[in-house]
Amino acid sequence: MTQTDADGRDRWSGFLLGFALGGFFDGILLHQILQWHHLLSAINGTDIRFQVAADGYFHALMYVIAVAGLWLLWASRTAPSRPSGRLLLATILIGFGAWHVVDAVLSHWVFGIHRIRMDSGSPLMWDLIWLVVFGVMPVVIGWSINGTDDDDRMQDSRRATVIRLLVGLLVIGAGTQALRPAPDNGFTTVLFAPGTSQERIFRAIGAVDGRVAWTDGTGELVVIRIAAGQSRYLLFRHGAILVSGAGFPAGCFDYLTTV
């Protein structure tokens, strides 16, 4: 066996073990303990026997993957340089995170067979939180400790890259949360550009069949009720510069709907 073959076998043993552990973690915690979803919750979700059977086949597949990883790990015992604990930990973390990335992309968004929390009004938020915490972060951590190079500058560069990635993920997550429309309480706050005529403001309100609930002294900041079926986005076409609950611009104004 060449050194390249041994290194590949070492790494794949960790990848497969981590992938299987990710599946077991998902199935045991989310399917059985918390019961937030089953493998096929979006398909015939009321038939619990069907769901339990599907979860059983899923766990059986994870056993097969785990056995393959253990066999590769056992086979590497005769390699000239057996895998270090550091390399094994790194590849297990990468495999663990890879499972959650694959699950999010395929199961949640492409095939739509389940979401992290089937009972949530904001399933995408839970999908993204789970993806970042249990998918992206283990992959990043595993990648940062992967390899055997002890050069200090290389390690510093990897740490800096990890920090940048984590900060970037936090910013993206915060931005995603800010872009989510606020819960609809029946009112919409609208700010028009300074100097907008009252005629144009009422024409904008009429465009969405709105009814004025409150206005400030200038008449440029109004709280209205919009008729069912009308889109808040029409207000932007009639001179509005901020519209709460429209998701843009993101931030506190999006939640300012109190009379």
- The per-residue pLDDT for 85 is 74
Structure tokens belonging to residue 94: 């990468």
| Tens-digit pLDDT profile for residues 227-239 | 887 777 788 887 8
| Tens-digit pLDDT profile for residues 168-178 | 666 565 555 54
Q: What are phi and psi of 221, to 5 degrees?
A: -115, 115
| Tens-digit pLDDT profile for residues 94-142 | 999 999 999 999 999 999 999 999 988 888 899 999 999 999 999 999 9
Distance between CA atoms of residues 219 and 234, nearest Å: 19
| Tens-digit pLDDT profile for residues 183-225 | 555 788 888 888 888 999 998 899 888 899 888 888 888 888 8
Delineate the domains of the chain, giving CATH numbers in brackets: 3-179 (no CATH), 188-255 (3.30.70)
Residue 251 has pLDDT above 60, yes or no: no
Structure tokens belonging to residue 145: 């400790």
Structure tokens belonging to residue 160: 């800096």
Q: Please name the amino acid found at residue 152.
A: D
Are 22 and 95 in contact by the 8 Å Cβ rule? The answer is yes
pTM of the model: 0.59
Are 220 and 240 in contact by the 8 Å Cβ rule? The answer is no
CB-based contacts of 153, cutoff 8 Å, min separation 6: none
CB-based contacts of 152, cutoff 8 Å, min separation 6: none
| Percent of the chain's residues with pLDDT above 70 | 73
